[in-house]
Structure 1
């Protein structure tokens, strides 16, 4: 598809990112979004789902902007807070709220928008509130304690989320829920975007903590049934879940259009799988792992472990062999995780992680190692999806215990994902649970 329907500045910036055309799947997604249709985008990891809605929203939100838009060189909370205190320049019911499961993906989506439509004013919530507060410089009292800084920071953050000022807000469900509750407590109006995006919706549907946070937010947004919803993710396969994700989505979103890639339910054909079988004499597989990394000495690796302790063991073993290794763990703060990722991009060739790294991030790696099978098959799909992105060849190395060997006969390029999910069901002895993200039925009509 040609990109000529987009304004020239977007075309130029997209070309600078290497985007010259859209696939058939992306074309359908963009057209549906531009037509203001509630849209569910379903495709393989790395197929350009996020780029589709970023391009479409950039065009939609830029329609009323001058031909030669001014570029926002700063989009900090300080800027947003000052704008909130001065004047409101945006029309009501404006802008897009983008909900993502992790801070890493939040930053990735933020970068997409900054590259494609830098004239848009973008807010991104940050879990590291004390550091953010210091940048706002709300007080000259150097003796103020950390808790006070955190409280004032959150106050400024909550006030800055104002659709009279910003075009796009990107947030995780938990922080968004806290912001909404706080705005209610201080008698501020509830955030009221025109469009709501739920990225990685499969994870948000499956994780109860995420679904609870969003249920609360959606129950408080005025006329939520009339918002324009964009859902993006990978729900594999419907028959494995109870109730069906499709039935939940269709029940809660009016006239939802499913945009599904042709290879949606198939294991990508550009992947090469290698399996390593552990037994009583090869319990950990650490020597095999080191051998894999050393043998492919020019290649980049993402390695997934099940636990923090296991990830630390892997990192220490690789570092002991002189292999530069970064690590992402759940107990790190965002700044620490970003620093580790930067080290991986700039100097290290191995990244070890729990599932923080399994969602939406492009690491430009050619090998992924799954050192422990995840408990959730959707996580397996997304771990594998760190390689083979955009049609490139990807190498997948999977370590298996004796009771997991069967899956090696199921993970074959070009085959359906469904047998893999059924394997998980047979292990767990129960159907996979999908949570309804809406406590309120947004199909119910409400008066303006």
Structure 2
């Protein structure tokens, strides 16, 4: 049944009536120490799904600022210990939205690339990030998934590369990139590389991609040609450095995309190994150092502590939507009893959505759950593609292409949380067959839909 207040934040659907015991427990959980009010003056309790969303969000945001304000550190706060961060003009206050990219300081070449992409108005994170990166500030850019973070750092980086050529006489050299973008997965690497290639049609710079799961020789050949920017996974880039296919000498700009994922999922040692020579070089007399940009959609306290320790004095710039659910997505919570078949319930949600022509992602917590869902849907004549850790890298890319296909031959992607981060997909409906174990995964899953202001739907079983 529809819950009160559902028009503002979604619906809560009950497939069975709660037992009297469950209702008593719920009332007890919602009760407070305040005196009991009369029925005429008692405010209606928040809908259960709103309580759940708020509880999920606050679990990882106990140190955040008050809701509705940008999640920025106050002016003068120390980045670590007693050290104070260098204050950026946009840190600590709400940023005025720009009507065009020209207002952000971008030049003609980059503007021409944006025109070819059909992009005219910057998003909030682009209004925050572009000027900061152009100013040479090392920053952490935090904004919700699908908000345009990739362009927020690529656009100013390309302009900085072109500026260095004009002012300092720097130019492309084999094996000596001036900018490196580190990504946690091959799929995100390819995605960033495609955007960089689109910009290079007008801005005249050369980028190349190196990632695991593919042959080394073509990557070696590409690095042996003059190159400005390398986009890759940390392990594969370190392999090329070890083999002498890439050197540190000219690196001036470093980006860590999905930085929270890399620090949270075991990439820390590789990142520190990559950073060590850069930091050592920066201590030498006459070296100009390097600028760092970290990009993230979520941030736990533990990861933020690691970042502040690894990048002293880095400035955190976050939009008002950082670590909040997307306003244009509708959230449906479907409650099941133990006697109901969860797979059948999934089918009841999935089939009407497919009939509308929607592209759908079905998230599972484990490989076994993902296999069971895929088998069940296939048995019911629903075409699916898979995306999880046991699918080979090349097959994952092929499956994503099938899912993206406008002809709609495979409109259903059955996946684990491997597909929850970094992928820019045109998804209308996200269904969580298994509910995520934490709020960070919840935000990343729901962020696959309702991207760049579009509408979307999230259903939780």
**Normalised TM-score (structure 2):** 0.68
Q: Distance in 1 between matches of 2:213 and 2:252?
A: 28
Pair 1:330-2:389 in alignment: yes
Pair 1:303-2:362 in alignment: yes
Q: Who is 2:184 aligned against?
A: 101
Unaligned stretches of 5+ residues in structure 2: 1-97, 284-288
Pair 1:61-2:161 in alignment: yes
Asked if the contact 2:129–2:152 (Cα under 8 Å) also holds between the matched residues in 1, the reply is yes
Q: Who is 1:41 aligned against?
A: 141
Unaligned stretches of 5+ residues in structure 1: 67-87, 137-155, 400-448
Structure 2 counterparts to residues 16-415 of structure 1, below 5 A: 16-63=116-163, 89-90=172-173, 95-118=178-201, 119-130=204-215, 133=217, 136=218, 157=220, 161=223, 165-183=226-244, 189-190=247-248, 192-207=250-265, 209-221=266-278, 222-223=280-281, 226-236=289-299, 241-242=301-302, 245-282=303-340, 285-296=342-353, 297=355, 298-346=357-405, 347-399=409-461
Q: Distance in 1 between matches of 2:177 and 2:234?
A: 20
Partner-residue secondary structure (3-state), 1:223: helix
- Deviation, 1:288, is 1.1
- Deviation, 1:201, is 0.9
Q: Distance in 1 between matches of 2:320 and 2:211?
A: 36
Partner-residue secondary structure (3-state), 2:121: coil
CA distances 1:180-207 after superposition (whole Å, capped 9, x unpaired): 3343xx9x74465111100111111212
Structure of larger gyration radius:
2
Aligned CA distance change for structure 1 residues 380 and 202 (closer, same or farther; 3 Å): same
Q: Distance in 1 between matches of 2:126 and 2:429?
A: 26
Asked if the contact 1:161–1:191 (Cα under 8 Å) also holds between the matched residues in 2, the reply is no
Aligned length: 344
Asked if the contact 2:328–2:455 (Cα under 8 Å) also holds between the matched residues in 1, the reply is yes
- Deviation, 1:373, is 2.9
CA distances 1:221-248 after superposition (whole Å, capped 9, x unpaired): 3425721000100334x5xx34xx4444
Q: Who is 2:101 aligned against?
A: 3
Asked if the contact 1:100–1:200 (Cα under 8 Å) also holds between the matched residues in 2, the reply is yes
Partner-residue secondary structure (3-state), 1:303: strand
Asked if the contact 1:102–1:356 (Cα under 8 Å) also holds between the matched residues in 2, the reply is no
